Amino acid sequence: MEVASFIKKFTKKPNTNIGCFLAVQIDTEFIKIAVWGIKNDLPEIIEIGGTAQWDGTSVEVLLEAIDTSLSVALEKIPEKIEITKAIFGLPETWVSPESILPARLNDIKTICEKMAFKPLGFVITTEAIAQYLKAKEGTPASAILVRVSTSEVAVSIIRLGVIEATHIAGRSGDISSDVKEGLTRFGDQESLPSRIILYDGISDRLEELTQQLLVSDWYSTFPFLHIPKIETMDNSFSISAIAISGGGEAAKSLGIVIKPIPLQEPIQESKPEPEPPVIHSSTPRLSKSYSMGKINAIFSKLKNFRMKTIHLPKLNLKFPKITTRMNRVNLTAAVVFLFFLLATAGIVQAAKKLSRTIIKISIAGQEISDTVKVTADLQSNSVDSSANILPAQIVSLTKSKEQTKPTTGKKTTGDKAKGEITIYNLRTDGHKNFDAGVGITTSVSGNKILFLLDSSVNVASASAGTDYSIIPGKTKVSVTAESFGPEYNLESGTEFQIANYSKSTYVAKNETGLAGGTKKEIATVSKKDKSELLASLIEEIKSESQNELTGQNQDKKIFSETIEVKPTKENYSVDAGTEAESVSLSLDASVKAMAVTETDYQNLLAAILSSKVPAGFSANGQNIKSEIKNVQADEGKVFFDINFSATLIPQTDKKQFLEMIAGKRPDVAIDILKRLPRVKDAEFTFSPKLPRFLQWISSDPERVNFEIQIRN
């Protein structure tokens, strides 16, 4: 039965409050499964599956073993549960200092895909055990962990809760000798923990093996302070450690509250020690309107009129009798002159009545300037002149740009040295399997050189010759250098250490030279190249957007300091790490900025100015100049200063002006007006255009227009 279908059959909403999880222990020869959950804020084992064997190499066999163990666990559970995520416990040989070995990481991914597991992360089994002991006993443990399987014994030293190292020895008929061989590989030790914990693999024989360890002589070879205590753990020990310790930490990373595990017995307080982190899987987790106004011109129509006949009084004059010709001439001249005087007076009166006068007066204004602090707020709906607040709004557009820049990244590449080696099993009485990717090392000029096995290999056990000498088992396998370079080209006869195994147990040697290693440096795209290219394009878009936003919103004032460019699509010509002399970026971006309407701005400015106009003056909006300074944006608001200046207009009484100059000739009127305070000049225009001697200022207000001009 496939596990995915089995789980589907058995799963339903659980009684627990967060569902259940899996713990999967993978060892070199067996696997174990445990179902666990959180109860009363504590991780708890629900059921443990059986121990299933596998060959240590085939992922298909591993999947079958997991299926078998999980089926056993689920069939033991009477109630239907929901299994969601899994924590993995892995052996040291599957993990490098940085992460899971690439080949083994692919195996984990295959398991998750085939079994429908969602990985929480992984722990190294021995580290989980160390933390489990600390949690259960209340103090960091010091002990020798001995994991027994069919073909090998793994020996680990824990000091104050920290795994010092793990060494693996091949199985022989004497468990004491195997453990001692493992301890020997730690080198000289000042002292060893006087506690040996035996666990796992072949639990049905652990009691027998414990008896062998109890009668062994430990003092003659190793620096134990007293006879070591031998403890045997049941089959649930290691999988419980993975679930309770590793799973508990994983649950914390999901935001689940986990209480400390209850202690087995009261203990003395000790200083807390940092918990080892759970390394998570790489599996992926988007107005009022103020208007300067249009000035409505006022037009007045000319009144229709007729020139009235002037009736002269009848003169009853008696002239003396003219007796001479001279007297008759003088009389004629007097009559003509009198008629001329009367005609001139009539024309002058008509000119005064009929002509229209435009008087342009230049007046000196008063300069005023000040600075006020203003806030533009997206949450405001109208101008608040008492608090100097303007309603703000968002303006936006979209932009696309492309840019290219030279790359600055460098990458070392070349060819890796290859060849064939022979692996020797010098002493163990069982065959040994080494996985593809296992490292072999040698030292060249003081530098450590690492090669990796190209494929899995099984090395036969050592055997006894006719003369009782040991004949090593041996197998050839191809290897590839870890990295590029000629330093990996090695002559034949070089000796290699295999993984962490002692050369006295397993050793490798090349019969022919390892060759083909080369190295060169190429230009590549670095992450810095991509980030700099993106930043440059964003800045270019931001610069161009200021003019475009202003052009599209001519009735608004755009705060350029608030322009924000957000990329919506990034398309690089090449990826980071790729060999290339240059890299290009095609960028689509949305651009937005905060703005206020010109009407609201001028409205507020006029209100501010009106509060600062002194008595006797008025303000004209056309004479106001302003500048926005010190713009700062914060959470939907823009704070800024307005520096403004204006020329104030003195208040004038046009009626009083007319009373002063009515009936006067222009020259006289100009002289009168220029004597007034702040009047700089005056100019008269008559319509219709009359001879100068007929230009008089009308006393009719309807026939005189004043135009006041401000002069700085």
pLDDT band at residue 406 using 50, 70 and 90 as cut-offs: very high
DSSP per-residue codes, 641-697: EEEEEEEEEEP--HHHHHHHHTT--HHHHHHHHHTSTTEEEEEEEEES---GGG---
pLDDT at residue 712, rounded to an integer: 65
List, in sequence order, the alpha helices (H) in 185-233: 206-214
pLDDT band at residue 566 using 50, 70 and 90 as cut-offs: very high
- Is the confidence at residue 280, as pLDDT, over 50? no
> Mean pLDDT, to the nearest integer, of 370-393?
93
Q: What residue spans in the chain does CATH classification 3.30.420.40 cover?
A: 3-253
Maximum mean pLDDT: which of 86-100, 261-275, 594-608: 594-608
Convert the pLDDT of each residue in 683-707 to its tens digit: 888 877 777 767 778 777 778 888 8
Convert the pLDDT of each residue in 497-522 to its tens digit: 999 998 888 999 999 999 999 998 89
10 Å Cβ neighbour count for 525? 25
Contact between 501 and 424 under an 8 Å Cβ cutoff? The reply is: no
> Mean pLDDT, to the nearest integer, of 641-647?
87
d(CA 108, CA 429): 31
Q: What residue spans in the chain does CATH classification 2.40.30 cover?
A: 415-518
Answer positive or negative: Cα dihedral of 96, 99, 103, 105. Answer: positive
Convert the pLDDT of each residue in 343-372 to its tens digit: 666 666 666 666 788 888 887 777 788 899
d(CA 508, CA 289): 91
Q: Which residues contact 682 (CB under 8 A, 6 or more apart)?
A: 359, 360, 361, 362, 669, 670, 673, 674
**pTM over the 0.75 mark:** no
Contact between 36 and 24 under an 8 Å Cβ cutoff? The reply is: no
- Is the confidence at residue 416, as pLDDT, over 80? yes
> Mean pLDDT, to the nearest integer, of 211-223?
81
> Mean pLDDT, to the nearest integer, of 634-657?
83
pLDDT at residue 657, rounded to an integer: 78
Name the residue with tokens 């001249």. Answer: 333
Contact between 422 and 480 under an 8 Å Cβ cutoff? The reply is: no
d(CA 318, CA 330): 16
* Secondary structure (H, E, C), 409-469: EEEEECCEEEEEEEEEECCCCCCEEECCCCEEEEEECCEEEEEEECCCEEECCCEECCCCC
- Is the confidence at residue 523, as pLDDT, over 60? yes
pLDDT band at residue 669 using 50, 70 and 90 as cut-offs: confident
Look up residue 95 and give its amino acid: V
Contact between 230 and 218 under an 8 Å Cβ cutoff? The reply is: no
Answer positive or negative: Cα dihedral of 369, 370, 376, 381. Answer: negative
> Mean pLDDT, to the nearest integer, of 88-102?
85
List, in sequence order, the alpha helices (H) in 355-403: none
Residue % of the chain over a pLDDT of 70: 80
Preceding omega of 691 cis (within 30 degrees of 0) = no
**Quick one: fold of 3-253?**
Nucleotidyltransferase; domain 5 (3.30.420)
d(CA 219, CA 692): 140
Name the residue with tokens 């450590």. Answer: 448
Coil, helix or strand for 391? strand
Least confident of 274-283, 487-496, 498-507, 563-572: 274-283
d(CA 530, CA 537): 11
Name the residue with tokens 């002990």. Answer: 143
Contact between 171 and 154 under an 8 Å Cβ cutoff? The reply is: no
Convert the pLDDT of each residue in 23-70 to its tens digit: 999 988 888 898 888 887 788 888 888 788 888 888 888 888 888 888
Chain centroid to CA 606: how far?
Answer: 43
- Return the higher-pLDDT residue of 657 and 232: 232
- Is the confidence at residue 80, as pLDDT, over 80? no
> Mean pLDDT, to the nearest integer, of 118-139?
87
Name the nearest CA neighbour of 591 among 638, 543, 557, 531. Answer: 543
pLDDT at residue 278, rounded to an integer: 32
- Is the confidence at residue 643, as pLDDT, over 50? yes
Q: Residue 656 to residues 493, 651, 660, 686: CA-CA distances in angstroms?
A: 123, 12, 6, 20
Residue % of the chain over a pLDDT of 90: 25
Q: Residue 673 to residues 359, 604, 616, 670: CA-CA distances in angstroms?
A: 11, 36, 18, 5
> Mean pLDDT, to the nearest integer, of 220-249?
83
Convert the pLDDT of each residue in 299-333 to its tens digit: 222 223 233 333 334 444 444 444 455 555 566 77
- Return the higher-pLDDT residue of 361 and 569: 569
Q: Residue 573 to residues 401, 525, 531: CA-CA distances in angstroms?
A: 14, 10, 14
Task: List the helix and strand counts (H, then E) for the chain.
Answer: 13, 35
10 Å Cβ neighbour count for 65? 23
d(CA 67, CA 106): 18
Answer positive or negative: Cα dihedral of 547, 548, 549, 554. Answer: positive
Provide the token pair at 454. 């190209």
- What end-to-end distance do the CA atoms of the chain give, in Å? 99
pLDDT at residue 10, rounded to an integer: 36
473-484 vs 20-26, strand pairing mode: unpaired
pLDDT at residue 19, rounded to an integer: 66
Name the residue with tokens 């052009």. Answer: 551
pLDDT at residue 151, rounded to an integer: 82
Return the CATH number of the domain spanning residue range 415-518: 2.40.30
pLDDT at residue 322, rounded to an integer: 45
Provide the token pair at 509. 């040697």
Compute and round to an integer the Cα radius of gyration of the chain: 52
d(CA 82, CA 68): 19
> Mean pLDDT, to the nearest integer, of 426-432?
84
Coil, helix or strand for 5? helix
Least confident of 95-109, 498-512, 570-584: 95-109
pLDDT at residue 14, rounded to an integer: 40
pLDDT at residue 7, rounded to an integer: 37
